[in-house]
Amino acid sequence: MVMICLVSAKNAPGVTTTTVALAEIWPRPVLVAECDPRYGDILAGYQQGTGDMTKGLLGLAAIHQRSDITQQIYNFVQPLSPGSEARLLAGIQVPAQAPGVAGLWEPLSHLLPSMIVKRRPVDVLVDCGSLHSPYAPLALVRNADLVLLLTGDHLEHIRAAHDAVQTLTMQLTAARPYADPRWRLAAVVRPPAAQRHNTRKAIQQTLEIDAIAEVRHDERVGAELLGRRHLPGNYLRSAYMRDVRVLQASIDQQLSRPAPAARTGHLSLPAGHGEAAHVG
């Protein structure tokens, strides 16, 4: 059982789409926790309104106000899609609801990593949205087994991602002060267009964390994944989904690495960061 948080530094470039795509091909039982404090896309988009809007964070938050949610959480989980083995803890629908669910982040950070659904342990993929959103689920980030920072390949995205690495490193260190925080942190490059602006290798060098995969832009699949009516019939064999499978395998590799000794020192921006990062 592992908990993997997906987060972005700037405007959430495909966090929800990547989370759902991973869940579709995940090789083990999996739960998607939609914890983006801005709003959730899965019920209206991926499920096309067929899901149960009473099951999710809002209902769980109402229970949390008066009792322990340890046993109640299972009543607020639903199938990710009809007939799917994957499960969903649905998020909020509008940003104004975020303060009402923010109190769940701390208890969920301890409950989700040990979730058992239908007597089977499950891996948990947490859609955290943008790191700098109000009421961001930082407690979940701190207790994650792996945090995936999604970034575009434009210089402005890389700069924002570099700042996010520092924030995430501090959060991860707070939870496990004697472990190297970068061991639990990796980048995923999401180019917003077919043209590359910076290579994955250059981004990895600038961020000083592993950039474990690149999920290429695919207008027909990536942009439509949350509106299933428009998906091409062979989308599971598309280049986009092939990239997602590579990402999933890379996640497993990251999780299986032995933990290194704790590092000392602090993050520093490489010399000449501004233009040196632009190599493509």
Residue 141 has a pLDDT of 95
Number of compact structural domains in the chain: 1
**Strands 146-151 and 3-8, bridge-based pairing:** parallel
**Strands 87-89 and 116-117, bridge-based pairing:** unpaired
Task: Tell whether 118 is covered by a domain.
Answer: yes
Nearest Cα neighbor of 138 from 37, 271, 39, 69 is 37
Structure tokens at 135: 């009421």
Task: Tell whether 276 is covered by a domain.
Answer: no
Task: Tell whether 37 is covered by a domain.
Answer: yes
> Whole-model pTM?
0.87
Task: Tell whether 249 is covered by a domain.
Answer: yes
Task: Tell whether 273 is covered by a domain.
Answer: no
Task: Tell whether 269 is covered by a domain.
Answer: no
Q: Could you tell me how far CA 227 lies from the centroid of its own chain?
A: 19
Q: How many residues does the chain have?
A: 280
Task: Tell whether 193 is covered by a domain.
Answer: yes
Residue 272 has a pLDDT of 42
Task: Tell whether 265 is covered by a domain.
Answer: no
Q: What is the mean pLDDT of each run of 10 residues along the chain (280 residues)?
A: 92 81 93 90 66 82 86 88 85 90 94 84 94 93 95 89 93 85 89 77 92 81 59 72 94 86 51 39
* Range list of β-strands (E), 9-62: 30-34
Domain holding 46, by residue range, is 3-257
**CATH code, domain with 143:** 3.40.50.300
